[in-house]
Chains A and B, each alone.
Chain A
Amino acid sequence: MLDLNQRVVLDRAGFAALLQALADDGHALVGPTVGDGAIVLDAIAGIDDLPRGVGDDQAPGHYRLRDRGDAALFGYAVSPHAWKRELLPPRVPLVQIRRSATGLAIEAAPAPTRKVAFIGVRGCELAAIAIQDRVLATGAHPDADYAARRAQSFILAVHCGSPAGTCFCVSMETGPRARGAFDLAATELLDGEHRFVIEIGSDAGRAILARVASRTATTDDVTAATAVTDHAATQMGRAMPTAGLRDLLMANLEHPRWQHVADRCLGCANCTMSCPTCFCTSVEDTTDLSGDVATRTRRWDSCFTADFAYVHGGSARPSLRARYRQWMTHKLATWHDQFDSSGCVGCGRCITWCPVGIDLTEEVAAIRAAPAPRSHADG
């Protein structure tokens, strides 16, 4: 019997067998794979669908795959896709309402019954999932669909060895070593034999791992695994000091920098769509041809859209300045008030996928460099 604190080593064939064991156990496998010039998160059949020797170059407004010239399966930083596509899908039916002579019949959408194994979750992403758990599944009125998907997910984390130019998980204390609630976590070792050092995080993880042939990790294996993430921690493309950040932003709600960023921002909402913690949704109504069957669908929304904050009399945030400020202060300041944590995990997606390369770490730095002497929020 494997011990929860035990580390074991799988070679490439062993890792393939682990994925197979998850599939045999009834999990749909979702993991990184190359598609459309990017590493996307999609259904995979097994190890052969993982990227092989593919890295990613990321910079503000820039993303490109590159050939690493090695056999790495997890040799990139993060996919443009966040795991929220699995847990909080872009569109999910909520309720169906059928009109008949006797009134309305309400049918709640059936809870999803699909066991999914998430392959290759990074530390920043694990932190993002924990944040969304907090927002969507632990309040007085949890989101049933999210909670059901979450309860059926198996998480195979892979510690990050290849941060990108837009990463700052070290600042946000979410990586590059995954901490928190994984079932299994792997470190991919490329020096010497291509192998994976596996940590066990749960009984479910232990049970799956017990089904594949592994050997106990040696001190050398464990040292090599630690070295991977220790080195990665020195490779952060960006940094965002967080000391006093909440108060800094709340004291600078009228800072001229908000207009400076609004002048560049297109309001395209790419940042919110790619962010792994952004959870805003809207509910859409559609009817069938007869008009009798109406479906209410939850879909992603964004605080950058013009009608997000519409009430009778107009939008509460007509200007892009106010919308960008809402987004960034929510991530970095008011999230603390609401959920006792930052809403940013430092994954860098919003920076990479902003078409004009707006970089929140740079915006924060600009405000830090010249904070306003006094703010309206104080008085």
Chain B
Amino acid sequence: MATSLPVAANAYALEPMTIARASRDLDDVFTFEFDVPGGFAFRPGQFNMLYVHGVGEVPISISGDPATPQRLVHTIRAVGTVTRVMDKLKAGDVLGVRGPYGAAWPLDELRGKDVLVMTGGLGLAPLRPAILHLLAHRGDYGRITILYGARSPADILYRDELARWRGRFDCRVEAIVDRAGRDWYGPIGVVTRLLDGLPLDPDDGVLLCGPEIMMRFAVRALDERGVPRTNIWVSLERSMKCGVGLCGHCQLGGSFVCKDGPVYRFDRIAPALQVREL
């Protein structure tokens, strides 16, 4: 039937972008920066699909500062086919980029509140834009606390920046590691341990990102501290081929993680997360 469906732009068309700066964060983690003179506007928590010529395309969160959209930043861990090839790229190499996609951290909604950021491992990468926004609009928020867990001191991401944030008098930054040698003077254990003794109000907003198991434990600990699940936001990872709701790969129950997420208010996604293998 001759329909009234709109003529659509190709949702898979990508934009070539040249890596302006490439830097190594950890053994298997690296950061690419792209200069985008016209600006690559995004909301903290959103992701892009990054394509390596002839190899494949993967979803990667945007890790840059939302206040400087002329610089697009991605921090990536080499884990498999595509990301291992990315690991070998350097400044001057070209990637395909499309996005930004997905739901963002609720930074407007949290205005006027205390904000707790809890993250583990590479989970700091998708939260960095949110943290930068919170600190840049410091007066809009109450207390700001950042709790970060890593496997070992050598696995701490954005080390210098964490130190810088910690040096500010207007936010609290705590890091903890699973295991460490004698040169580590900080606490040892899982990130939820850092909640002990931390002042928490049920009205606080919590932004959570890390391995799913870490997020589960964190929610449980927050439950015990009386923070309702309506005040907790998480960012989820699922298999994604399209990023825009067409391919079906990212489904979690009735939700498409690529367009309904990846950031969810926890109470809205908790029922799906509670069912094993959903």
Contact = CB atoms under 8 A, between A and B. Distances in A.
Interface residues of A, number: 77
A106 B13 CA distance: 7
Contacts of A325: 278
**Residue in A151, A301, A313, A336 whose Cβ sees the most chain B Cβ within 10 Å:** A151
Nearest to A254: B275
Given A103-B18, A283-B242, A142 B259 contact: no
Contacts of B18: 103
Contacts of A253: 275, 278
A334 interface: yes
Nearest to B244: A141
A122 to B, nearest CB: 15
B277 A317 contact: yes
Contact of A144 (B9, B51, B94): B9
A145 B16 CA distance: 22
B37 interface: no
Interface string A345-379: 00000000000000000000000000000001111
B5 interface: yes
Interface string A127-141: 000000101111111
A377 B276 CA distance: 10
A189 interface: no
Interface in B201-233: 211
A322 B277 contact: yes
A142 B94 contact: no
Interface in A70-119: 94-95, 97, 99, 103-106, 108-109, 111
Contacts of A254: 275
Contacts of B272: 377
B277 A319 contact: yes
B53 A99 contact: yes
Interface stretch (B134-142, B144-152, B172-180, B246-254): B246-254
Interface residues of B, number: 52
Contact of B259 (A140, A151, A281): A140
A138 B3 CA distance: 12
A-side interface mostly: mixed
Contacts of A148: 7-8
B5 A103 contact: no
A243 interface: no
A319 B275 CA distance: 13
Given A283-B242, A337-B254, A95 B249 contact: no
Contact of B2 (A106, A143, A204, A309): A204
A316 B96 CA distance: 27
Nearest to A339: B254
Contact of B247 (A97, A281, A326, A330): A281
B57 A283 contact: yes
Nearest to B260: A338
Contacts of A111: 7
Interface string B103-143: 00000000000000000000000000000000000000000
Given A280-B249, A281-B247, A312-B80, A97 B11 contact: no
Interface in A271-311: 279-283, 285-287, 291, 294, 296, 298, 301, 303, 308-311
Nearest to B14: A106
B55 interface: yes
Contacts, number: 183
Contacts of A287: 54
A333 B253 CA distance: 9
Interface string B235-276: 001110110111111011111100100000000000110111
B238 A311 contact: yes
A108 B239 contact: no
A187 to B, nearest CB: 18
B11 A138 contact: no
Contact of A142 (B8, B13, B253, B255): B8
Given A136-B246, A143-B11, A253-B278, A334 B56 contact: no
A109 B10 contact: yes
A139 B12 contact: no
Contacts of B54: 97, 99, 285-287, 291, 294
A308 B14 contact: no
Given A133-B3, A137-B8, A147-B5, A316 B277 contact: yes
A168 interface: no
Contacts of B242: 281, 283
B78 to A, nearest CB: 11
A101 to B, nearest CB: 11
Given A104-B16, A338-B254, A147 B8 contact: yes
A202 B1 contact: yes
Nearest to B80: A312
B6 interface: yes
A183 interface: yes
A308 B249 contact: yes
Nearest to A204: B2
Given A95-B10, A144-B8, A309-B239, 4 more contacts: A135-B246, A151-B7, A283-B56, A316-B239
Interface of A: 94-95, 97, 99, 103-106, 108-109, 111, 133, 135-145, 147-148, 150-155, 181-183, 201-202, 204, 253-254, 279-283, 285-287, 291, 294, 296, 298, 301, 303, 308-313, 316-319, 321-322, 325-326, 330, 333-334, 336-338, 376-379
Please list the 4 inter-chain residue pairs (A to B) with the smallest Cβ-Cβ separation, ordered nearest first: A337-B254, A280-B248, A322-B277, A141-B244
